[in-house]
Amino acid sequence: MARGVGANNGGDAGGAIFSYYGPTDIEDCTISGNQATGAGGGVVVVGVYYPHILTLNNTIIANNGANECSVIGYPFIGAGNLIMQNGSGSACPGVVTNVDPQLQALQPASTNGGLTPTMAIPLYSSAMGVADSATSLPYDQRYANRPQPDKSPRNGYDIGAFEVCRRFVGPSLEAGPCGYTIINPPTTTLTMQVSPVSRSGSYGTTDPAP
């Protein structure tokens, strides 16, 4: 999962993401407002997989309840993450801050631009300018450029799926318009072959499998 939002979901464990014995990559995402009946309202990853069961970079995991990110297994790597309430005893890696990022509510795409709903961070959020530059992606979920060239002390990459667009107006740093290009998502044509072709059998198969 890259440059995406996981919000307002629920489950027994891992309200936004539950992964069992498979490699899980989460890059530049925002995961918030999820809940679980058990542990891990945000993310739960279980298992052993090489080279990594979990790669977690530059992601906000906030407001998902206690123990909102847990990895039960190995090996795992991470950098540049904001996790408000990490798992106890099975914590997710690479946390640089646990301060509330002041996320806005999930908004339709028309509010902040782009093609998908966003959870924006405000100017001077704790997530602003503190992501890991070596692993950050060059665009946010709207394809706004990262990092923003504001030349301020916090002009690095922002954590999460949303990059705050900002500019100096005189001596003051202010939120400004984003310059971004909407890139149409790729399309794929899927052709399925059904066997048998008639309806006489009690069951059939498809190629590829569903």
Residue 195 above 90 pLDDT?
no
- pLDDT for the residue 149: 75
Whether the upstream peptide bond of residue 149 has omega within 30° of 0, thus cis, is: no
Amino acid at 205: T
pLDDT tens digits, residue range 17-55?
Answer: 999 999 999 999 999 999 999 878 999 999 999 899 999
Q: What are the two backbone dihedrals, phi and then psi, of residue 111, each rounded to the nearest 5 degrees?
A: -70, -50
Token pair listed for 197: 């072709």
CA 72 to chain centre: 20
pLDDT of residue 188: 74
CA dist 68 and 130 (Å) reads 21
| 100-142 pLDDT, tens digit each | 999 999 999 888 888 899 999 999 999 999 999 999 999 999 9
Domain ranges of the chain: 1-210
Distance between CA atoms of 100 and 82, rounded to whole angstroms? Answer: 9
Amino acid at 139: Y
| pLDDT of 194 | 72
Nearest to 24 by CA among 6, 8, 38, 43: 43
Quick: pLDDT tens for 129-178: 999 999 999 999 999 889 987 666 677 899 999 999 887 777 777 777 77
Q: What is the CA radius of gyration of the chain?
A: 20
Would the pTM of this model clear 0.95, i.e. be above it? no
pLDDT of 202 > 60? The answer is no
